[in-house]
Amino acid sequence: MSKRIEAKNLDIYYGKFKAVEDVSMVIEPRAVTAFIGPSGCGKSTFLRSLNRMHEVINGAYVEGELLLDGHDLYGPGVDPVNVRRQIGMVFQRPNPFPTMSIKENVLAGLRLNNKRMPGREQDEVCEKALRGANLWEEVKNRLDLPGSGLSGGQQQRLCIARAIAMAPDVLLMDEPCSALDPISTLAIEDLIQELKANYTIVIVTHNMQQAARVSDSTAFFNIAGTGAPGKLIEMGPTEQIFSTPEKQETENYITGRFG
């Protein structure tokens, strides 16, 4: 568990539109890396390219190299389904399957991957994932009730449990708290801190306080203007990015001055 990601000169396209240009970065294991930057600068696009979710969009593709512990994720013969099993994703809005119970939701990814698992083992995986997502105590007596009956914050932790159940190496989270109240947000932030002991974690956030609170490294993306591709402006230890960034552009953004 927990692997290093290295992107080398990654360009990301939607058909003819180049949405992200020439991003090179290293994402360290057992750490939280935050992506910040204005809306439309390609944070979600870059995040989705990290587990080959980007290419499910018609006409979307990537150029450049992306390595997971040295293995090229876009190499010939690499199965994108396998990549997505190793690199899990949690979305902006909690999206439990509404007709499934809590337990079925946790195991949903495993089922999709066609793993036949005896009932006792299913119970164990379910409990471990829910404990890992800090949700077990709250739901252990209602595992067979619908996941949609949980609060927003619980649903997001359920989605994290679903991702964890796959035993991934990396967890990608795209603004996982943007639909949550402050208390649930803190619960997710605490959880992220715990999870980083075992996973490589990447979080997109529009909330700079959140980036400062939860991340070890911060990457700042920006765009020159409408239609221009998003670019990585600078990346470094979070403390340094928020106190003494190297680029004026970063400084302007983190102090709330644009342009």
Ligand X SMILES: Nc1ncnc2c1ncn2[C@@H]1O[C@H](COP(=O)(O)OP(=O)(O)O)[C@@H](O)[C@H]1O
Q: How far is the CB of 43 from Mg ion (least distance, A)?
A: 5
Minimum gap (Å) between residue 66 Cβ and ligand X: 16
For residue 109, the partner it binds in ligand X, Mg ion, none, with Cβ less than 5 to 8 A by kind, is none
Q: Which is nearer to ligand X, 46 or 165 (CB)?
A: 46
Site membership for Mg ion, residue 218 (CB under 5 A): no
CB atoms within 10 A of CB 178: 15
Going across the sheet that includes 60-68, the strands are 71-72, 60-68, 5-14, 17-27, 230-237, 217-223, 32-36, 200-204, 170-174, 87-90
What tokens were used for 232?
């990585």
Residues that bind ligand X (CB under 6 A): 14, 19, 37, 39-45, 57, 230
What does each C-alpha distance from 188 to 121, 157, 177, 183, 191 come to in angstroms? Answer: 27, 7, 7, 9, 5
The CB-of-180 to ligand X minimum distance in angstroms stands at: 18
Q: How far is residue 245's CA from residue 243's CA, in Å, rounded to a whole number? A: 6
| Residue in 12, 33, 42, 44 binding Mg ion, rule: CB under 5 A | 44
Smaller CB separation from Mg ion, 126 or 180: 180
Tell me how many residues contact Mg ion (CB under 5 A).
Answer: 1
State the minimum distance, in angstroms, from the CB of residue 47 to Mg ion. Answer: 8
Across the strands, what pairs with 18?
A: 13
Query: Do residues 177 and 184 touch, judged by C-beta distance below 8 A?
Result: yes
Interface with Mg ion by CB under 5 A: which range of 3-11, 41-49, 95-103, 223-231?
41-49
